[in-house]
Amino acid sequence: MRWVLNRVERGRYLDSVAAMRLARRLGALPGVEAAALMIGSPSNKALLREAGLLASEGEQAGVNDLVIAVRAASEKAGRAALESVFDLSEKPQQQGLSRVRSLGGALDTLPGANLALISVPGDFAAAEARKALARGLHALVFSSGVPIEEERALKLLAKEKGLLLMGPDCGTALIAGTPIAFANVLPRGDIGIVSASGTGLQEVSCLVARMGGGVSHGIGVGGRDLDERVGGLGTLAAIEALEKDAGTKTIVLISKPPAPRVAEQVLKRLKACNKPSVVCFLGLDKPGLARTLREAAEMAMGKKIPAEKIKRKKAKGRVQALYCGGTLCSEAELIFRRLGLKVGMRGHRFLDLGNEEYTRNRPHPMIDPEIRNAHVAKALADKKVGVILVDLVLGFGAHADPAGVLLQNKLSKTVVASVTGTDSDPQVRSRQVAALRKAGVLVAPSNAHAAELAASFY
């Protein structure tokens, strides 16, 4: 018999990253098979119900309540987990930080603040963003699930007020040297980045840093900004801000292919800009545009990242790519297609483990790369797989030791990896690379290099 138990904390909120980390801790407790922490919105309760984690107590939760759900082998184990969650979640506050319950309270505590980070359930994110903009604050909306018409309305309001609205679903930013959300520790410099991709921003900024450059600002705009319905409002505002910024000399723009009209408008704006620019619309091969994230970094820096010479022989079987970063996965697949290699069910396969189908009720694989291990084990056992291609993404918010997690597998096949990060990151890139190479993993200097290396086995 399996026991499904819920605990409801009335009027309690945890942002999604904190909730996922805590769910992971609960899931590791003795006798616990699965765990989740979610705000009691109708959509979240539907997810819990679908996962077999919603009990009668959770059904009664409201949108201001936190549902703590476990499925356990015994009632005793389940109740022990629910009782321990309060201790697990109540960590001592860092010295000098204050806890407040509203935007007004935050501004009373930090009257000089000029940016609000919004990480609340998507149903409420637009309202909180409006409050921030009304108080004259730039806003980064980490939350997803905001209707696209609300996104456009928020960005029009921000434009009217001369403010930046980053997001919704903006997972990465680097503002005036401060990393926000999933970001890396980077030196300040004169390259400004505008990106509709979080991992794209991380990859380019880290490559710039490893080539000896630095970043003035990295502005995330959300993955839908260059959609026809939004019209690139965030991108255009970010370009204008970087053009006015005295510390920015070169602007780099990263995105998947935008809507044609939006692309034309953005490229026209960059052409009129008084600063040089580099554009990478992944998947859109046009003269003058960078075709990979590596090329974008190289063009911005005016130098090349050399590929390492690795002896290899032809591999039998296909490549199985298992990615944590969605944009990195797309870039690798594009490289294979450009090289004329078959991709899909009859060819090499690319899996983005950050997709919702893999992360429902589970942390994103950048937070918990153990999600990938079951897929790695399957690929190792599959006689039709010859090479495994993976990414490791470091920085704030990411797992403390992604290399260690990957190496829990006995890697009996050729594994090619890229490591996005710097030596200043908490995980220390050089240590991660050294651990991988000691285990026989072929580590390339960029994701594009890794894809090209994996493809060269065929």
Look up residue 250 and give its two tokens: 């070169």
pTM over 0.85: yes
Return the residue matching tokens 């153990």.
Answer: 370
Look up residue 380 and give its two tokens: 């190792």
pLDDT confidence of residue 90:
46
CATH topology of domain 318-455: Rossmann fold (3.40.50)
Look up residue 13 and give its two tokens: 């909120």
**Residue type, position 34, single letter:** A
Per DSSP, 131 falls in state: H
Q: Is 28 exposed, middle or buried (0-12, 13-18, 19+ CB in 10 A)?
A: exposed
Burial letters 117-135, b for 16+ CB under 10 A, else e: bbbbbbbbbbebbbbbbee
Mention every residue, 6+ apart, whose C-beta is less than 8 A from residue 290: 278, 279, 280, 296, 298, 299
pLDDT confidence of residue 101:
77
Q: 350 with 343: CB under 8 angstroms?
A: yes
Burial letters 296-322, b for 16+ CB under 10 A, else e: bbbbbbeeebeeeeeeeeebebbbbbb
Q: How far is CA 72 from CA 28, 80, 311, 331, in A?
A: 11, 10, 49, 40
pLDDT confidence of residue 96:
57
CATH of the domain spanning 182-221+232-303, picked from 3.40.50.300, 3.40.190.10, 3.20.20.70, 3.40.50.261: 3.40.50.261
Element (H, E) at 455: helix 447-455
**Residue type, position 298, single letter:** E
Cα–Cα distance measured from residue 124 to residue 121, given in angstroms and rounded to the nearest whole number = 6
Q: 39 with 16: CB under 8 angstroms?
A: no
User: Does 182-221+232-303 match 318-455 in CATH topology?
Assistant: yes
Cα–Cα distance measured from residue 275 to residue 268, given in angstroms and rounded to the nearest whole number = 13
Per-residue pLDDT of the chain (458 residues; tens, 9 = 90+): 789 999 999 988 877 767 877 888 888 899 999 899 998 988 889 989 988 999 999 999 998 899 999 999 999 999 999 998 877 654 544 455 677 878 888 899 999 999 999 988 888 899 999 999 999 999 999 998 899 999 999 999 999 999 999 999 999 999 999 999 999 999 999 999 999 999 999 999 999 999 999 999 999 999 999 999 999 999 999 999 999 999 999 999 999 989 999 999 999 999 999 999 999 999 988 899 999 999 999 999 999 999 888 877 888 899 999 999 999 999 999 999 999 999 998 899 999 999 878 876 677 889 889 889 999 999 999 999 999 999 999 999 899 999 999 999 999 999 999 999 999 999 999 999 999 999 999 999 999 999 999 999 99
Cα–Cα distance measured from residue 453 to residue 178, given in angstroms and rounded to the nearest whole number = 34
Alpha helices in 256-397 (DSSP H): 260-272, 293-301, 326-338, 356-359, 370-381
Q: How many residues does the chain have?
A: 458
Dihedral sign, CA of 367, 117, 105, 121?
negative
3-89: CATH number: 3.30.70
Return the residue matching tokens 């983005």.
Answer: 352
pLDDT confidence of residue 323:
98
**Residue type, position 47, single letter:** L
Residue from 218, 263, 261, 265 nearest 238 by CA: 218
Q: Where are the domains of the chain?
A: 3-89, 182-221+232-303, 318-455
